[in-house]
A and B are shown apart, each in its own frame.
Chain A
């Protein structure tokens, strides 16, 4: 079984400042990792994913994440945030085989302050 821990439930940050949203996972097998963003009363939009290869993954909207196997982490970063980045961010994992559902972390609310 897999589990995901997002250490920060809320992260306030000033506009144009950098941000890091933390994600750690636990699994007895290798996993694929994802970050999704959710705007109010909407579904989830994929930001980026790590399946294999380079551990630094670039996604949409200027976000990137780095997979660290030894630390079982997949932290999300952006060098300069905008007001429009205010949203809920979810880290998720899935096992590497089969059409299986994602297991989500509890989410991190990013609030960008003008």
Chain B
């Protein structure tokens, strides 16, 4: 089945540094990937839609200069948290659909998430 791989699974960084999270579709090509953020014991909130070869679309309230998204190829999207602060500590999850499945209404496949802790 379709697999989405996310790396790293966890990262600890100091305040003010930048962290890059990678999301790869391993056996399919994804022109679009979705990045979600999840606070402890809360739901997943969509941050942005990553589009291959073009700019990402950010949800209202998400700082595009802080959360840089690059979708450079059909199998890789990256999220960079720039100048991280403790309030950026969260669980970040990427997802994508496999275009080979039924339709674009097929379910999203999720990576295993990245636990970011900013000290």
Residue ranges of A at the interface with B (Cβ–Cβ < 8 Å): 32, 34, 36, 41-46, 49, 51, 90, 94, 96-107, 109
CB within 8 A of A99: which of B32, B36, B93? B32
A96 CA to B106 CA, complexed, in Å: 10
Write out the residue numbers on chain A whose beta carbons fall within 8 Å of the beta carbon of B109: 46
Select the stretch in B13-21, B39-47, B66-74, B81-89 that faces chain A: B39-47
Contact with A along B43-66 (1 / 0, CB 8 A): 110100100000000000000000
A47 CA to B98 CA, complexed, in Å: 17
Q: Are B111 and A34 in contact (CB under 8 A)?
A: no
**Size bracket, chain B contacts:** 20 to 34
Q: Are A46 and B107 in contact (CB under 8 A)?
A: yes
Whether A99 contacts B104 in the complex (CB less than 8 A), given A43-B93, A106-B42, comes out as yes
CB within 8 A of A104: which of B31, B44, B49? B44
Within 74-118 of B, Cβ neighbours of A (below 8 Å) are at: 91, 93, 95, 97, 102, 104-105, 107-113, 115
Residue ranges of B at the interface with A (Cβ–Cβ < 8 Å): 4, 6, 9-10, 31-32, 34, 36, 41-44, 46, 49, 91, 93, 95, 97, 102, 104-105, 107-113, 115
Shortest beta-carbon distance from A90 to chain B in Å: 7
CB within 8 A of A102: which of B32, B91, B108, B112? B108
Q: Are B108 and A43 in contact (CB under 8 A)?
A: no
Shortest beta-carbon distance from A108 to chain B in Å: 10
A41 CA to B91 CA, complexed, in Å: 8
